[in-house]
Amino acid sequence: MILTGGLKSLLPNVLRRIIRCDRLSISNTSGMAEGYKQANVVILHKSLADDFEKFCHANDGPLPLLYRSKPGDWKCPSLSSDSDIRTDCLQYRIYEHGACTGSLKSLKEYSEQLKDMVTFYLGCSFSFEKAVRNAGIPIRNVEQKCNVSMYKTSVPCYSVSTFCCDLVVTMRPIPESKLEAAVVATSELKEAHGAPIHMGDPGLLGIQDLSKPDYGDPVHLHPGDIPVFWACGVTGVEAVISCRAPLAFTHSPGCMFITDLKNDNVPVRSSREVPQVQCISQDPLHYSIVSAEAAQKIKTLETLIGIDPGDRGIIHLHRQDELLKACLSISHARSVLITTGFPTHFTYEPPEENDGPPGALAIAAILQALEKEVAIVTDQRAMNLNKKIIEEAVQIGILKRPVPLLSYRSESANSALMFLCENGNPGRPRFDHLIAIERAGMAADGKYYNARKVNIKHLVDPIDELFLAAQTIPGVTTTGVGDGGNELGMGKVKDAVKKHIKNGDVIACDVEADFTIVAGVSNWGGYAIACALYILSTCEIHDRYLRKAVGFPQLPKKTFWLSALPSVTKEEKLLKTLVRHGVRSGKTASLEMEVDGLPFYNTHSLMIEKLL
């Protein structure tokens, strides 16, 4: 028998010859023929071949198709010069009517059946191991002399005919400081599954226990390692099981076909296309990916809205990249709850100001276009007003359909939990993300203050409780948008508010959000969130990560998304609607075309144009 030493430097044709002669004392091909492409193998009856090829193209993250043979062809000339698929994998599995009925070292005894069968060679993550190692990243399963860990997920693949299964992933422990390097090293190696599809808590993929892989061996994480998941070609095995073919063959997971193709032909990538990694949640731990170009565009939005036209001192409240991180988190959310409403004009009816609702509706509009669930929660006394505003926003063309409008009452200690989660169960939240935009926020003394230190608590329902409860619910993230420090969510920057904002020692909101977006006018923050979500949705790198590299890119919906963004015309009509309903400018209480004392024309209209 030949032992494992030196196998990584042997040429593929030599390795295949050794495998063919059954002279290897190893259980997988990870680390072998370093720098050469390895392949998953699926062998199906020719009647199923066309549908399986369509399935591969529809799920090209886990199933990058390297080669499809003709029926009965045991060679693959474009991948190797002297191969025989019946003998050149370390081990095979046989499937009959969807059940694995055995493992084999050779398929020669099935040569007659193979004459009517087609072989698919699919890319494998073993192919990128050299690139990962060259980036200075340890490969833990090779260090631990074991197979890579493979897991079934709860992520459905795009189904084609009888091929209907969930995604399978490999997991590699990566030191946190090397996450971005791992993404960069693999993202262009599309035929080896490309960039990771998830980084962080395995539970977000439906994986319950990393120590119990469905295929391969458990690989142990070192302190500081993050579990990183790549789409895996063993998804093809699950597809074979799902189609229940009378007879099919696959490689045994980890026992790949080694090709003669090198991974050297990686296309040159511009700096704009380099992926960046951002942590968007600590509980559960979750990282996201975005292109450098998209990230820079969103940072530019953050700079644009950060001007201080009211000279309030808000520059001291800024936290860099909060807009990017908040919008990455919202992009991953399934269901979003928005709240707005600041009744600063307590001597008028209605007491609301017109900063907040336009920004909230701009966010709701893009969320609708992105097919996310969205609802708005506001004060019970303002329900009728907000219902009318939402109905007219549909007529104006801001919203495609009405947004569900909710109110919150604090009736017991667990009211917030009952509101946010099904039956109050933190494991079943109704919303993944909460956004407060220009929403009155509770101060340290439990009161709610406008900028002039007037307590308006009698007009404000305790929606802050939802944000406080969200801190205790894993997987629910919060964002606060404000322009003065007394808004819900600004507790994250309360020390700066107390130090730099007029009356800050009294009015500062005490309730934190995970992400705090500070803008010269809060509506601008809402417009920026909408534009940032559009940028993320049109970023191919982020789109692939979001859909876990299964299904098709969402870019064909780009025009529809674009139509959901705010425009000067739509916002002008909405402001006229608010004026008609008696909703006043925040600073002056004027019923003119202004917000926070700033004229709509040549101030707010110019900001909208700049953001777009």
Q: CATH number, domain at 30?
A: 3.30.2040.10
Q: Are residues 199 and 284 in the same domain?
A: no
Q: Are residues 324 and 241 in the same domain?
A: no
Arithmetic mean of pLDDT, 252-274: 77
**477: exposed, middle or buried (Cβ count in 10 Å: 0-12, 13-18, 19+):** buried
Q: Which helix (H) or strand (E) holds 55?
A: helix 46-58
Q: How far apart are CA 419 and CA 410, in angstroms?
A: 10
Residue 499 domain-assigned (yes or no) = yes
Q: Are residues 223 and 91 in the same domain?
A: yes
The 3-state DSSP class for residue 570 equals helix
| Phi, psi of 318, deg, nearest 5 | -65, 140
228: which 2 tokens? 């990183």
Q: Are residues 232 and 340 in the same domain?
A: no
Q: Are residues 47 and 99 in the same domain?
A: yes
pLDDT digits (tens, 9 = 90+) for 267-311: 556 667 899 999 999 999 999 999 999 999 999 999 999 999 988
Taking the CA atoms of residue 503, residue 504, residue 510 and residue 516 in that order, the dihedral angle to the nearest 10 degrees is 130
Is the pLDDT confidence value at 1 over 50? Answer: no
Q: How far apart are CA 203 and CA 284, in angstroms?
A: 8
User: 226, 248, 270 — which closes off a domain?
Assistant: 270
User: 270, 305, 334 — which closes off a domain?
Assistant: 270
pLDDT digits (tens, 9 = 90+) for 178-187: 999 999 999 9
Residue 491 domain-assigned (yes or no) = yes
Q: Are residues 422 and 537 in the same domain?
A: yes
| Phi, psi of 202, deg, nearest 5 | -65, -25
Q: Quick one: pLDDT at residue 253? A: 84
Q: Are residues 463 and 595 in the same domain?
A: yes
Residue 1 domain-assigned (yes or no) = no
| Phi, psi of 338, deg, nearest 5 | -115, 140
Q: Which residues pair with 480 in a beta bridge?
A: 436, 516
Residue 365 domain-assigned (yes or no) = yes
Average pLDDT of the chain, as a whole number? 93
Residue type (1 letter), 196: P
Beta strands across the sheet bearing 166-175? 215-216, 149-156, 166-175, 225-231, 198-200, 285-291, 275-282
Q: Are residues 217 and 330 in the same domain?
A: no
User: Helices 322-332 and 522-537: crossing angle, nearest 10°?
Assistant: 60
pLDDT digits (tens, 9 = 90+) for 522-571: 999 999 999 999 999 999 999 999 999 999 998 788 889 999 999 999 99
Is the pLDDT confidence value at 3 over 60? Answer: no
Residue 557 domain-assigned (yes or no) = yes
Q: Residue 266: which pLDDT band, with cuts at 50, 70 and 90?
A: low
Q: Are residues 262 and 283 in the same domain?
A: no
Domain span holding position 52: 9-270
As for how many domains the chain has, the answer is: 2
Which residues, other chains included, contact 405 with Cβ-Cβ below 8 Å and sequence gap of 6+? 375, 376, 377, 378, 383, 386, 387, 390
Report the candidate in 266, 270, 314, 315 with the shortest Cα–Cα distance to residue 296.
270
The 3-state DSSP class for residue 501 equals coil
Per-residue CA distances from 327 to 353, 373, 433 (Å): 25, 16, 10
Q: Are residues 261 and 283 in the same domain?
A: no
Residue 3 domain-assigned (yes or no) = no
Q: Residue 161: which pLDDT band, with cuts at 50, 70 and 90?
A: very high
Model confidence, pTM: 0.93
pLDDT digits (tens, 9 = 90+) for 401-448: 999 999 999 999 999 999 999 999 999 999 999 999 999 999 999 999
**329: exposed, middle or buried (Cβ count in 10 Å: 0-12, 13-18, 19+):** buried
Taking the CA atoms of residue 329, residue 334, residue 335 and residue 340 in that order, the dihedral angle to the nearest 10 degrees is 30
Q: Are residues 260 and 301 in the same domain?
A: no
Q: How far apart are CA 363 and CA 13, in angstroms?
A: 57
User: 219, 245, 270 — which closes off a domain?
Assistant: 270
Residues 403/435, Cβ–Cβ less than 8 Å: no
Q: Are residues 199 and 292 in the same domain?
A: no
User: Helices 568-580 and 383-396: crossing angle, nearest 10°?
Assistant: 150
